[in-house]
């Protein structure tokens, strides 16, 4: 640098959090978007997010902002990545820390408020051009989600509490854009604690499938070596 920078020159930035909320509905993975009602990017669709208060912790900010913009409360979020290109925000230097969560769409009611004009679930494969660098954030966070889907049994956060094995399989087929063998998929599930209920699918024109529940407490009481050494 050619001139001396004072410490106070550094304290001229802001940061935001962006909350990518994933849900699964009608056989599609969807993400919750809002329509902005303020400048910049007025009337653009965007990932719900806003500036963090100067004294607010990041997870608290994520919860507050998600609630203010979309009405969603009590959604446990995970940190994703941070984005800090100098010109990503037209009003100044703003770094954003992105968070994500998986929820059951039917368990929540979304309601746009504050400066969000609308809130809507959009299929991840059908997302329009978004405000700021939000398309980049979305792509990047979707990759992280897929990694997690592969490593941890978080798929059950997306499905209804009672689900058929076929629904579970279709979620994976959709997320990874692949097809899986029914019989072999079920063999893989042997390692997961699923409880078969005495209930069946309703209103189908053929043999109904049994409904299952995921036994989260049984899973967490097992040991799960993360070490697999795949190279």
Partner DNA sequence: ATTACTTATTGTAATTCGTACAATATTTGT
Partner DNA sequence: ACAAATATTGTACGAATTACAATAAGTAAT
Q: Which does 2 bind (CB under 5 to 8 A by kind): DNA, a second copy, none?
A: none
**Buried-exposed string 123-140: b where 16+ CB fall within 10 A, e elsewhere:** ebeebeebbbbbeebbeb
Interface stretch with a second copy, choices 7-15, 120-128, 130-138, 199-207 (CB under 8 A): 7-15
Closest CA to 142 of 29, 7, 2: 29
- Spatial neighbors of 2 by CB under 8 A, at least 6 apart, are none
Burial of 44 (0-12, 13-18, 19+ CB in 10 A): middle
For 84, phi then psi, to 5°, come to -145, 30
The interface with DNA within residues 156-215 (CB under 7 A) comprises 164-166, 181-184, 186-188, 200, 204-210
Hey, what are 169's tokens? 């399989």
Number of residues near a second copy (by CB under 8 A): 50
The interface with a second copy within residues 29-88 (CB under 8 A) comprises 51-58, 79, 81-82, 84-86
Q: Does 147 participate in binding a second copy (rule CB under 8 A)?
A: yes
Binding site for a second copy (CB under 8 A): 1, 5, 7, 9-15, 51-58, 79, 81-82, 84-86, 91-93, 95, 97, 146-147, 150-153, 155, 172, 176, 178, 180, 188-189, 191-192, 226-231
Binding site for DNA (CB under 7 A): 164-166, 181-184, 186-188, 200, 204-210
């Amino acid at each position: 640098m050619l001139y001396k920078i004072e410490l106070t020159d550094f304290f001229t930035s802001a940061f935001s959090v962006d909350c990518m909320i994933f849900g699964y509905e009608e056989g599609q993975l969807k993400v919750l978007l809002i329509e902005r009602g303020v400048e910049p990017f007025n009337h653009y669709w965007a990932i719900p997010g806003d500036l963090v208060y100067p004294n607010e912790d990041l997870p608290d900010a994520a919860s507050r902002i998600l609630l203010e913009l979309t009405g969603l409360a009590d959604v446990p979020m995970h940190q994703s990545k941070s984005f800090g290109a100098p010109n990503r925000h037209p009003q100044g230097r703003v770094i954003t820390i992105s968070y994500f969560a998986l929820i059951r769409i039917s368990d929540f009611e979304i309601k746009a408020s504050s400066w969000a004009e609308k809130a809507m679930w959009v299929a991840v494969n059908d997302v329009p051009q978004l405000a700021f660098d939000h398309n980049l954030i979305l792509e990047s966070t979707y990759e992280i989600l897929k990694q997690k889907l592969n490593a941890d049994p978080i798929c059950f956060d997306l499905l209804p509490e009672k689900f058929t094995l076929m629904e579970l399989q279709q979620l994976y087929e959709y997320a990874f854009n692949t097809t899986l063998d029914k019989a072999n998929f079920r063999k893989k599930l042997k390692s997961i604690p699923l409880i078969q209920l005495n209930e069946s699918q309703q209103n189908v024109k053929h043999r109904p499938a049994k409904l299952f529940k995921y036994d989260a407490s049984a899973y967490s009481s097992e040991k799960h070596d993360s070490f697999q050494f795949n190279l």
